[in-house]
Amino acid sequence: MKGERGFSVVETLLALLLFAISLTALLHYQRMLAAGFYQQWQQREAWRVAALRLQGQESEGWQTSLRSLPAVEGCLFWQATASRPGLSPVTLGQLRCDQ
Protein backbone atom coordinates (compact mmCIF):
# COMPACT_ATOMS: atom_id res chain seq x y z
CA MET A 1 0.00 0.00 0.00
CA LYS A 2 1.12 3.44 -0.72
CA GLY A 3 0.44 4.99 2.76
CA GLU A 4 2.57 2.52 4.72
CA ARG A 5 6.15 3.35 5.53
CA GLY A 6 8.80 1.35 7.40
CA PHE A 7 11.99 2.45 8.99
CA SER A 8 14.75 3.66 6.74
CA VAL A 9 18.19 2.06 6.79
CA VAL A 10 19.64 5.16 8.48
CA GLU A 11 17.02 5.05 11.26
CA THR A 12 17.59 1.33 11.78
CA LEU A 13 21.37 1.75 11.95
CA LEU A 14 21.03 4.69 14.35
CA ALA A 15 18.75 2.63 16.63
CA LEU A 16 21.19 -0.29 16.50
CA LEU A 17 24.11 2.01 17.36
CA LEU A 18 22.20 3.49 20.31
CA PHE A 19 21.33 -0.02 21.52
CA ALA A 20 24.97 -1.16 21.24
CA ILE A 21 26.24 1.88 23.17
CA SER A 22 23.63 1.36 25.90
CA LEU A 23 24.42 -2.34 26.20
CA THR A 24 28.16 -1.65 26.39
CA ALA A 25 27.61 0.93 29.14
CA LEU A 26 25.40 -1.47 31.12
CA LEU A 27 27.93 -4.29 30.81
CA HIS A 28 30.74 -1.99 31.96
CA TYR A 29 28.62 -0.86 34.93
CA GLN A 30 27.86 -4.49 35.84
CA ARG A 31 31.56 -5.38 35.67
CA MET A 32 32.47 -2.47 37.93
CA LEU A 33 29.77 -3.46 40.44
CA ALA A 34 31.05 -7.04 40.50
CA ALA A 35 34.63 -5.83 41.06
CA GLY A 36 33.45 -3.59 43.91
CA PHE A 37 31.55 -6.41 45.58
CA TYR A 38 34.56 -8.72 45.24
CA GLN A 39 36.85 -6.07 46.79
CA GLN A 40 34.38 -5.57 49.65
CA TRP A 41 34.19 -9.33 50.23
CA GLN A 42 38.01 -9.57 50.31
CA GLN A 43 38.19 -6.71 52.81
CA ARG A 44 35.61 -8.39 55.06
CA GLU A 45 37.57 -11.65 54.81
CA ALA A 46 40.75 -9.79 55.86
CA TRP A 47 38.98 -8.50 58.99
CA ARG A 48 37.87 -12.06 59.79
CA VAL A 49 41.42 -13.40 59.33
CA ALA A 50 42.83 -10.64 61.59
CA ALA A 51 40.26 -11.51 64.28
CA LEU A 52 41.21 -15.18 64.03
CA ARG A 53 44.90 -14.22 64.36
CA LEU A 54 44.10 -12.39 67.60
CA GLN A 55 42.63 -15.69 68.84
CA GLY A 56 45.85 -17.50 67.88
CA GLN A 57 44.68 -19.17 64.68
CA GLU A 58 46.47 -19.01 61.34
CA SER A 59 44.64 -18.77 57.99
CA GLU A 60 46.05 -20.42 54.90
CA GLY A 61 46.77 -18.10 52.00
CA TRP A 62 47.10 -14.98 54.15
CA GLN A 63 50.14 -13.20 55.50
CA THR A 64 49.46 -12.43 59.15
CA SER A 65 51.44 -10.99 62.02
CA LEU A 66 50.73 -10.62 65.72
CA ARG A 67 52.52 -8.29 68.09
CA SER A 68 51.97 -6.96 71.57
CA LEU A 69 52.61 -3.43 72.77
CA PRO A 70 52.72 -2.16 76.34
CA ALA A 71 49.59 -0.34 77.39
CA VAL A 72 48.24 0.86 80.71
CA GLU A 73 49.43 -0.90 83.86
CA GLY A 74 48.80 -4.64 83.74
CA CYS A 75 47.56 -4.55 80.14
CA LEU A 76 48.93 -5.33 76.70
CA PHE A 77 47.64 -4.05 73.39
CA TRP A 78 47.68 -6.85 70.80
CA GLN A 79 47.74 -5.99 67.10
CA ALA A 80 46.96 -8.50 64.37
CA THR A 81 47.62 -7.64 60.73
CA ALA A 82 46.32 -9.60 57.75
CA SER A 83 47.30 -8.99 54.15
CA ARG A 84 47.15 -10.59 50.75
CA PRO A 85 48.64 -9.45 47.42
CA GLY A 86 46.47 -6.81 45.77
CA LEU A 87 44.66 -5.94 49.01
CA SER A 88 45.34 -3.23 51.56
CA PRO A 89 46.57 -4.65 54.87
CA VAL A 90 44.07 -4.75 57.72
CA THR A 91 45.09 -4.19 61.34
CA LEU A 92 42.89 -5.12 64.27
CA GLY A 93 43.70 -4.33 67.89
CA GLN A 94 42.64 -5.75 71.22
CA LEU A 95 43.42 -4.61 74.75
CA ARG A 96 44.05 -7.51 77.14
CA CYS A 97 44.38 -6.93 80.87
CA ASP A 98 45.30 -9.48 83.57
CA GLN A 99 42.63 -9.53 86.25
> Residue 77 — φ and ψ, nearest 5°?
-105, 115
What order do you get walking across the sheet with 75-84 strand by strand?
63-70, 75-84, 87-97
Is this model's pTM higher than 0.85 or not?
Answer: no
Where do the structural domains in the chain lie, given as residue ranges?
Answer: 9-97
* pLDDT on residue 46: 95
* pLDDT on residue 3: 61
* pLDDT on residue 21: 98
Residues of the chain under the 70 pLDDT cut: 1-4, 99
Q: Is the dihedral of CA 54, 58, 62, 65 positive or negative?
A: positive
End-to-end CA distance of the chain: 97
